[in-house]
Amino acid sequence: MAFGRKQGGQAAGASGAERQAQGQKALSIVAAAACAVAVGGVGFGINAANQASAIQSKVSGGMQKVVVTTQEVKAGQTIDQSSISYADVPAAFRPDGAVSDAADLVGQAAVTDIPRNTVVTGGLATGPENAASLSRKLEPGTVGITVSVDSESAVAGLIGQGDTVTLYEAGEKDADGKQAWSPLLRGVKVVALDDKLGSETTAYATVTLQVTEEQAVRIMSAGGAGSGGGLKITLDNRQG
């Protein structure tokens, strides 16, 4: 009986040791898990800090002035001074094509609905597209005059809105029947090709020019351009 009680005591002792070992193992697992969470938290903190640093670097790269809408502008609505204003944005976050001069937008029409507080880019607005708005494009004291052209008389379709050109008028033919030409007007601004005032095109049959009334009379007296006409046009060098 005594032997049996000793055996039982040893068995009970072994059971307690096992429980202690299991407890220590459980504590180790919890500690490891806590350590992993801590390390993960540190990693997250480092990542967040890196992202914040990257954003700060972009912001500190300098501010640039852009034009933003002060109210919603509906598609087709003409943009006026009351619907736009200026704002400063970090250079790194400035949208491509962002407009920086409000004067470039006033009088143009919205291509699509533009929400309030939107940075306006060139693609969101366009100039008037019909001849009825020609008066908006003309400078004070000038008039618009349209002449017919062809590929020979108008630089093979390479003239664009805003270009300046020189007009030549036909003179007397020489004894051999060759046509003489002389400059009529220099530095004349092109304001439209056909009926387009705000988009580029390489296919056009007329060119509208911005001139004074006196210059308009001289052009009309010289005759029309095009094949057999009394005018030819050359494109001026913008750097000249």
The continuous run of DSSP H or E covering 78 comes out as: none
Which residues make Cβ contacts (< 8 Å) with residue 234, sequence separation at least 6? 155, 165, 166, 168
pLDDT at site 198: 60
Q: Where are the alpha helices (DSSP H) in 106-212?
A: 134-137
**In angstroms, rounded to a whole number, what is the distance separating the alpha carbons of residues 236 and 194?**
20
The greatest distance separating any two alpha carbons of the chain, rounded to the nearest whole angstrom, comes to 152
3-state helix, strand, coil in the chain (%, to 5): 40, 30, 35
Taking the chain (240 residues) in consecutive chunks of 10 residues, what is each chunk's mean pLDDT? 47 55 56 50 54 55 88 84 92 85 83 87 65 68 85 72 89 83 92 71 80 91 61 74
Contact in structure between 232 and 168 (CB atoms under 8 Å): yes
Q: What is the pLDDT of residue 119?
A: 93
Q: Which two tokens stand for residue 81?
A: 């001074």
**Pairwise CA distance, residues 200 & 203, whole Å:** 9
Per-residue model confidence (pLDDT) at position 12: 47
Predicted pLDDT of residue 86: 94
90-104 tens-digit pLDDT: 988 888 888 888 888
Question: Smallest Cα–Cα separation from 125: which of 144, 104, 140, 149?
Answer: 104
Under 8 Å between Cβ of 167 and 236 = no
- Report CA torsion sign: 218, 221, 222, 227: positive
Residues 6+ apart with CB under 8 A from 21: none
Note the pLDDT of residue 137. 75
The pTM (predicted TM-score) of the whole model is: 0.44
Cβ pair 218, 184 in contact under 8 A? yes
Question: 63-126 domain in CATH 3.40.50.150?
Answer: no
Residue ranges of domains in the chain: 63-126, 131-235
In sequence order, what are the residues at sequence separation of 6 or more whose Cβ sits closer than 8 angstroms to the Cβ of residue 123? 97, 111
Residue 87 contacts by C-beta under 8 Å, 6 or more apart in sequence? Answer: 65, 66, 67, 68, 119
**What's the first-to-final CA gap in the chain, in angstroms?**
124
